[in-house]
Structures are given as structure tokens and as C-alpha cells.
Amino acid sequence: MSLDALSALENLLPAAEPAPEPPKVQPKDIVQEDKLKSEKGVRVGEREDTLPPDYRFTEDKMKDLPRPQKEPSMDSGEALDILSGDFSSSAVAPAATASAAPSKQ
């Protein structure tokens, strides 16, 4: 690639603008750490005014909904049987048979 082609492309580009100055730090922008630690933040949902309208169920709406079904209970032995059902105990692991390499004498 010749330099003439690059210089021709450079002439098509607009002139470079000077970089803007960085903003000046003013005393009002400096944060005091003890002031930040003393202020307590509010999480969404801790106060009722931070929740969207109709977020919580009212007593009227709760009456219209069906009751949740009761979860079945089981004793620990039955649960253990269910969890260990996929495991099978093998009597003896098959022994690997390998032929001995002939000795060179």
C-alpha cells in the first residue's frame, strides 16, 4: 500500500478536535464517608409506598383463591427407600483379566 493512498484518505477525514478538559472537582462533590454510613437506605418492599399498587393480596382476594393443597408426609425410612431405589448392590465387581506379557530371556 502506498503512502499516497493513505494521505489521500487522511485528507478526507475532518480535522481532529482538541480533547475536552476533564471536569474540575469542587468541594460540594467530595463525599464524606461518615455521612454515608450514618444514612440508612430503604430496600424495596420494606415500606408499603415502595411497592407497586395491587402487589399484596387483600383479604377479599384471598377468599376467592383456592386453599393450597397439603403436602404429603412420609417417614424417613420411606424417603430413604425412594432415594436409594436407583442404587443396586453388585455382589462382586468383575475382575479385570489381562494377559501377562511374555518375558524375554
For residue range 37-81, list pLDDT tens digits in order: 777 777 777 778 878 888 888 888 888 888 888 888 888 888 888
**Left, alpha or beta for 63 (phi > 0: left; psi -120 to 50: alpha)?**
alpha
Give whole-number Cα distances, 92 to 15, 53, 78, 89, 100, in Å.
83, 66, 27, 9, 23
Q: Look at residue 70 in the predicted model and tell me its pLDDT.
A: 86
Residues 6+ apart with CB under 8 A from 57: 65
Q: Look at residue 10 in the predicted model and tell me its pLDDT.
A: 86
Say how far apart CA 68 and CA 65 lie, in whole Å.
9
Q: Look at residue 48 in the predicted model and tell me its pLDDT.
A: 80
pTM to 2 decimal places: 0.23
Q: Are 51 and 43 in contact (CB under 8 A)?
A: no
Within a 10 A sphere around the Cβ of 62, how many other Cβ atoms?
9
